[in-house]
Amino acid sequence: MFNEKFSAIVSAPTGKLKNKKGQSVRSIHFTLKAEFDDAVAAGLDKHGKAGLAGLRTRGLAEIKIPINTIAAKIKMRAGDDRVTFNATGVELVGKANMNKEDTAPLANITWAIDFSEKVWQFLGKNFGKTAQVDIEARQLEIEDIDSGAEDESNSEAN
């Protein structure tokens, strides 16, 4: 996923407004929908690899991995439209298709950025379309998921 180009569907751009120390701060959250494959899993260290294995065997229907410690430079291209921006990860939700065995799991990767009119226009214009995405990790650290949550997930799968 990092430092490799991949295709993803642009989804769910939403504007957010927060009050920080008396200042209104606008941001954008959006999701990239892509195949949850070995490249995506490798970018998420042991959590991604273990999650992908569980989704592939359908021992897990869904996994959630917080990625809020990841900072990245993202380049996106859809047709003739291009945009580059810095983003912070929010969460990756991986889902297995429980109805079709030969279908790869999907990853919904949510990102947050400071508000930018150029990025907002790109996301709005290309909503639902496939974009070529290149993510360059600036800070790559996945938080350990507490063992209680992992035990819960494993007990649900059994």
C-alpha distances out from residue 155 to 58, 98, 107, Å: 14, 18, 22
In terms of residue numbers, what domain contains 105? 5-157
Q: Which two tokens stand for residue 49?
A: 């690899």
Q: Report the domain count for the chain.
A: 1
- Residue keyed to tokens 């800070």: 139
The pLDDT value recorded for residue 139 is: 73
Neighbouring C-beta atoms of residue 43, cutoff 10 Å: 21
Predicted confidence at residue 153, as pLDDT, reads 40
Amino acid at 85: F
**Per-residue pLDDT in tens (0 to 9) along the chain, 158 residues:** 787 889 999 998 999 999 989 999 999 999 999 999 999 998 888 889 999 999 999 999 999 999 998 999 999 999 999 999 999 999 999 999 888 777 899 999 999 999 999 999 999 999 999 999 999 988 766 555 543 344 444 434 43
The secondary structure element, H or E, covering residue 102 is none
Which sign does the torsion angle of CA 31, 35, 36, 37 carry?
negative
Cα–Cα distance, 124 to 91 (Å, whole number): 21
Q: Which two tokens stand for residue 17?
A: 């407004």
